[in-house]
Amino acid sequence: MSNAVDRGGEASFAVLGGAPAFDRPRHVGRPNLGDRERLMARIEGVLDRVWLTNGGPLVQEFEAAVAAVAGVRHCVATCNGTLALEIAIRAAGLSGEVITTPFTFVATPHALRWQGITPVFADVDPRTHNVDPRQVERLITPRTTGILGVHLWGRACPVDELAAIADRHGLTLLLDASHAFGCSSGGRMVGGFGTAETFSFHATKFVNSFEGGAIVTDDDAFAERARLVRNFGFADYDQVQGLGTNGKMSEVAAAMGLTSLESRDHFVAVNHENYAAYRAGLAGIPGIELVPYRDEDLTTRQYVVVEVDGSADLTRDDLYRVLWAENVLARRYFHPGCHRMEPYRSEQDPERLRMPETDRLATRTLTLPTGTGVDLADIAMVCDLVRRAMAAGRPLGELVRAQAAGSRPVLAAVPDDGAGTG
Ligand SMILES: *Cc1c(COP(=O)(O)O)cnc(C)c1O
């Protein structure tokens, strides 16, 4: 046991000087491209029409398609997912404090704070990684105006409980569904929960429009307000009805979004096959648990997340370093938790930032590469690396940590395409 590292030979791990398992990086969130010819034909059409933005035909077509998938009446497409959140927050008239989760991409609280609202963090349920509704209700004050839930990894947050809390206290429920386009929960499509939900179509997301996002809702008046805010507050050519911003999606972005949507079934099939390969390849490795999806829900399985047991001899960070050296650019989403990021860490009362479950989770989760950028042989290799690393255990961890503290470069590669920022 203690000489597992020696037995395998130090050279067997790139972190200790061996050759990396992969000659090119394998990324989390490498963009799914879709059909290049269809994309180019659409872009030619944009140029032929000389209609580049401001609600052109492709944006209208994309909005109708997104609304159809989400099963809602209205889709307001935006230039990115963060603006979708900000516009939804404005259209909902939120102010004061809004309760949200700390275990999310930092755009969630940033969108609130950018609108002058204090994000109040409620700790997560460690079993679901989503916000714990009991924590939410405890944090309501006279300044609270809303709840912003997040469907982490595409698994719906407790929407019924959150809606009941919102009802009881007269709050607005919004949902950041950036991870959950095309997902369902309990037979209902994500998109129809709360007052409105938002999507991101960033390059790393399941469906992408280079950069893009959308607000979806069944509320006619809300959709109308969101459209006004998206376009500087313009109701007509020179009639401004209120404070707005520029959140419009361009025609080229919609061209990519429509093309990406056409390959949705293929992307889902690839992700499901990849996920099954990970499940088989990681089965029975002590200290490693693959975060599950419910078979009865529609899921895109865009996120392959493992939890590294805190009691294992090799920590999540050790494994992270081992994998990066092998050119497997796993990501520590969402380490260390938004409550530990600026400006929240400095602005807020430390007592209110105590998030023991998020702290624990943020040191355990690791997101592995999937999508059309990896094949089954890659996944078998990644699983083999994880199995060998966990078997090598403590001695490997000690070497990795000693080396990380020293001066030798550990990483074989750094992200070269900005993939995986979201
Ligand atoms: C990606 C993401 C966003 C931001 O979307 P952008 O399109 O990158 O602006 C917001 N929230 C979550 C949970 C995300 O994953």
For ligand 1, whether the C-beta of 104 sits within 6 Å is: yes
Tell me: pLDDT of 86 over 70. Answer: yes
| For ligand 1, mutation pick of 78, 105, 215, 256 (most atoms within 8 Å of CB) | 105
| pLDDT for the residue numbered 408 | 55
Q: Quick one: which atom of ligand 1 is closest to the CA of 179?
A: 15
pLDDT in tens, 155-212: 999 999 999 999 999 999 999 999 999 999 999 999 999 999 999 999 999 999 999 9
| pLDDT for the residue numbered 415 | 42
Q: How far is CA 384 from the centre of its chain?
A: 26
Q: Encoding tokens for residue 17?
A: 């000087």
Top pLDDT among 6 and 345 is at 345
Q: Encoding tokens for residue 136?
A: 């939410």
Contacts of 249 (CB under 8 A, 6+ apart): 53, 59, 62, 77, 78, 79, 209, 212, 213, 257
Of the listed ranges 15-19, 86-90, 135-139, the one predicted with least confidence: 15-19
- CA–CA separation, 225 and 92 (whole Å): 9
pLDDT in tens, 30-61: 999 999 999 999 999 999 999 999 999 999 99
pLDDT in tens, 57-73: 999 999 999 999 999 99
- CA–CA separation, 50 and 11 (whole Å): 58
Q: Quick one: which atom of ligand 1 is closest to the CA of 107?
A: 10
| pLDDT for the residue numbered 12 | 85
Q: Encoding tokens for residue 181?
A: 């386009």
| pLDDT for the residue numbered 417 | 41
Beta bridge partners of 290: 306
pLDDT in tens, 10-34: 458 999 889 999 999 999 999 999 9
For ligand 1, whether the C-beta of 227 sits within 6 Å is: no
Closest CA to 92 of 168, 232, 198, 249: 198
For ligand 1, whether the C-beta of 222 sits within 6 Å is: no
Tell me: pLDDT of 419 over 60. Answer: no
Give the residue-averaged pLDDT of 109-123: 98
Pairing of strands 328-329, 144-150: unpaired
What is the CA(105)–ligand 1 centre distance, in A? Answer: 6
Q: Which domains does the chain have, with CATH numbers?
A: 36-262 (3.40.640.10), 263-413 (3.90.1150.10)
Flag whether the pTM goes above 0.85: yes
**Cβ pair 337, 103 in contact under 8 A:** yes
pLDDT band at 122 (very low <50, low <70, confident <90, very high): very high
Q: What mean pLDDT value characterizes the chain?
A: 93
Grouping H, G, I as helix, E, B as strand and the rest as coil, residue 328 is strand
| pLDDT for the residue numbered 177 | 98
| For ligand 1, mutation pick of 85, 202, 206 (most atoms within 8 Å of CB) | 202
Q: Quick one: which atom of ligand 1 is closest to the CA of 200?
A: 7
Contacts of 136 (CB under 8 A, 6+ apart): 99, 122, 147, 162, 165
Share of the chain above pLDDT 70, in %: 94
Q: Provide φ and ψ at 125, rounded to 5°.
A: -90, 120
